[in-house]
Amino acid sequence: MNRPLILVSNDDGITSKGIFTLVSVMKEIGDVIVVAPDSPQSGMGHAITVGETLRLEENFIFKDVKAYECSGTPADCVKMARHFVLKGERQPDIVVSGVNHGSNTSISVLYSGTMSAAIEGAIEGTPAIGFSLCDFNHDADFSHTQEYIKKITLQVLAKGLPKGVALNVNFPAKQAEPLKGIRVCRQANAKWMEDFDVRFDPHGRRYFWMVGNFVNFDKGEDNDEWAIANNYVSVVPCMFDLTAHQSIPVLNEDWDILK
Amino acid sequence: MNRPLILVSNDDGITSKGIFTLVSVMKEIGDVIVVAPDSPQSGMGHAITVGETLRLEENFIFKDVKAYECSGTPADCVKMARHFVLKGERQPDIVVSGVNHGSNTSISVLYSGTMSAAIEGAIEGTPAIGFSLCDFNHDADFSHTQEYIKKITLQVLAKGLPKGVALNVNFPAKQAEPLKGIRVCRQANAKWMEDFDVRFDPHGRRYFWMVGNFVNFDKGEDNDEWAIANNYVSVVPCMFDLTAHQSIPVLNEDWDILK
């Protein structure tokens, strides 16, 4: 392959340290174009902007890389990249998203704007990877991730990905010891136990902050939580077909209301 | 079972005709509590509100049903219902969401706020159903859906659902002929082909509307698009484990970078 064309997006916004890390690695691999949110979009899940207008402006923050900031969600960014910015032109060979400031392991994949950008790539039939670091710090240390981001991206460019699959890659926060390697994992069985912190505004009206604890029910060693806890890079192949295929015959057999 | 406790939410907002339809059916089945967005949330996917505050106020629109309006997304509404409104009390026996004004078949399930409320139910281990009508009209005719909403809800209350599964139920827009029945389906292989309608605001600055055509690649008769096109109610069992399990051995075999 000639130099691949790489579309970069994220959900922390175009000025975050994580996207700078990702762009710097991608420049070593191919030609890069960035379309990313103009402000943080964490927790946006697979939201798209249908009832409101969108803005898109060129942004010069990366100097030698063509970049655009978009007022929409990460999924909007990938759609605008393909169907406006690159319309009628060469389409990306790969979509990469991140590096997210914060974990997107386990159930968090559902709420993840980072992964929604990657899944938009997969919907369009393009190999796609979302990268996340399990460290929320704005000035998080990404230095241990770069070597692996490069390896994984090159591997995906060389081998492709199964149809309809995007990768959810998570890195442990930087430890004293180096990373132990890469594990291909399933999504751990875990969830957030929410609570709501009740406060009152200066006008005496009640408002809430969502808070919560992450609870891991999973005893296995083949899941992403285990990998991260053991200082491995976790790679979960994710799909956008949500059908619980194995449940179709169950319902067809059990339900009286089908005829 | 005694009268079940039914949590109702939606994504079109607490004043939509669709949620009135759903509440009216649920009142025949059990005790109802509503926690729904205070404004339309279409296209919100599985978004949650983490970086901003939330509001929740009692709402008296349903007269004989306890109801709350929430400033957040459909997923937020289900979380607030469980972990604030009903905290320490009896939890719902079932979560129902909708009836959405507009289709949530095929790939639209990913972008659907209606289904994110249902999937939040499934994450908490509660049977959950999202209902959608393939008619965007604010004053859409829901009269053909009520009998089926009742049947399906009673069936789920009687039989339960497989672990981790929520149902995505879609109804065809009202036809001259009655509905033909219910089909348990898989998510059709289809996608949106977006385009961006470029406009200029009164200050001469460019903005965009996302538009698009739905393209169905699926030739099968076992999918939700086929069911809707043939005047059946489609029921797709959906799961929140996004892992492409069959791809794990593929990556483990193909990748050189694992050791």
A163 touches chain B (CB under 8 A): no
Q: Cβ contact (<8 Å) for B54 and A151?
A: no
What is the per-residue DSSP string for A190-228?
EEEEEEEEEEE-TTS-EEEEEEEEEEE----SSBHHHHH
Q: What is the pLDDT of residue B42?
A: 77
Whole-number CA gyration radius for chain A: 19
Instruction: Chain A: give the shortest CA distance to residue B184, in Å.
Output: 6
Do residues A129 and A167 lie in contact, with contact meaning Cβ atoms separated by under 8 Å?
Answer: yes
Do residues B139 and B101 lie in contact, with contact meaning Cβ atoms separated by under 8 Å?
Answer: no
Q: Cβ contact (<8 Å) for A40 and B51?
A: yes
Q: What is the pLDDT of residue A42?
A: 77
What's the CATH number where A164 sits? Answer: 3.40.1210.10
Instruction: Chain A: give the shortest CA distance to residue B163, in Å.
Output: 10
B213 touches chain A (CB under 8 A): no
A53 touches chain B (CB under 8 A): yes
Instruction: Chain B: give the shortest CA distance to residue A15, in Å.
Output: 17
A50 touches chain B (CB under 8 A): yes
pLDDT band at B1 (very low <50, low <70, confident <90, very high): low
3-state secondary structure B29-90: HCEEEEEEECCCCCCCCCCCCCCCCECEEEECCCCCCEEEEECCCHHHHHHHHHHHHCCCCC
What is the mean pLDDT of the segment spanning B203-225? 95
Q: Cβ contact (<8 Å) for B241 and A186?
A: yes
Does any domain span residue A236? Answer: yes
Cβ-proximal residues to B19 (8 Å cutoff; 6+ apart), any chain: B8, B10, B12, B13, B34, B36, B98, B99
Does any domain span residue A167? Answer: yes
Number of domains within chain A: 1
**Stretch among A36-40, B42-46, B130-134 having the lowest mean pLDDT:** B42-46
B209 → chain A, closest CA residue:
A53
Q: What is the pLDDT of residue A1?
A: 59
Q: Cβ contact (<8 Å) for B82 and A159?
A: no
Residue B254 with chain A: CB contacts under 8 Å: 159
pLDDT tens string B27-38: 999 999 999 999
Residues 7-36 of A with CB under 8 A from B: none
Q: Is the pLDDT of residue B49 over 90?
A: no
Does any domain span residue A204? Answer: no
A86 touches chain B (CB under 8 A): no
Of A54, A239, A250, the CB nearest to B242: A239
What is the mean pLDDT of the segment spanning A217-234? 97
Nearest Cα residue to A171 out of A158, A180, A161: A180
Q: What is the pLDDT of residue A69?
A: 97
Does any domain span residue A35? Answer: yes
Binding residues of B: 11-12, 42, 100
B115 → chain A, closest CA residue:
A242
B116 → chain A, closest CA residue:
A110
Nearest Cα residue to B130 out of B74, B173, B179: B74
Do residues B170 and B114 lie in contact, with contact meaning Cβ atoms separated by under 8 Å?
Answer: no
Q: Cβ contact (<8 Å) for B193 and A83?
A: yes
Residue A209 with chain B: CB contacts under 8 Å: 53-54
What is the mean pLDDT of the segment spanning B121-140? 96
**Stretch among A89-93, A118-122, B37-41, B222-226 having the lowest mean pLDDT:** B37-41
Instruction: Chain A: give the shortest CA distance to residue B41, in Å.
Output: 9
A150 touches chain B (CB under 8 A): no
What is the mean pLDDT of the segment spanning A153-167? 96
Buried b or exposed e, range B12-49, using 16+ CB within 10 angstroms: bbbebbbbebbbebbeebbbbbbbbbbebbbbbbbbbb
Q: Cβ contact (<8 Å) for B208 and A247?
A: no
Instruction: Chain A: give the shortest CA distance to residue B32, in Å.
Output: 22
Does any domain span residue B198? Answer: no
Q: What is the pLDDT of residue B47?
A: 86
Cα separations in angstroms, A42 against A38, A39, A71, A108: 12, 10, 14, 11
Do residues A248 and B236 lie in contact, with contact meaning Cβ atoms separated by under 8 Å?
Answer: no
B238 touches chain A (CB under 8 A): yes
Q: Is the pLDDT of residue B122 over 70?
A: yes
Cα separations in angstroms, A257 against A60, A240, B75, B158: 59, 29, 29, 12
Does any domain span residue B210? Answer: no
What is the mean pLDDT of the segment spanning A58-74? 95
Q: How far, in Å, CA of B114 to CA of B44, rounded?
A: 9
B221 touches chain A (CB under 8 A): no
Residue-averaged pLDDT of chain B: 95
A76 → chain B, closest CA residue:
B210
Residue B109 with chain A: CB contacts under 8 Å: 242
Binding residues of B for a divalent metal cation: 11-12, 42, 100
Strand ranges, E, within chain A: 5-9, 31-37, 56-59, 66-70, 94-101, 128-133, 165-171, 182-184, 190-200, 206-216, 233-239
Q: Which domain holds residue A236?
A: 5-188+219-254
Q: Cβ contact (<8 Å) for B258 and A186?
A: no
Of B50, B245, B247, the CB nearest to A210: B50
Does any domain span residue A11? Answer: yes
Residue A161 with chain B: CB contacts under 8 Å: 247
Q: What is the pLDDT of residue B46?
A: 82
Does any domain span residue A200? Answer: no
A93 labeled binding residue: no
Residue B80 with chain A: CB contacts under 8 Å: 196, 208
A88 touches chain B (CB under 8 A): no
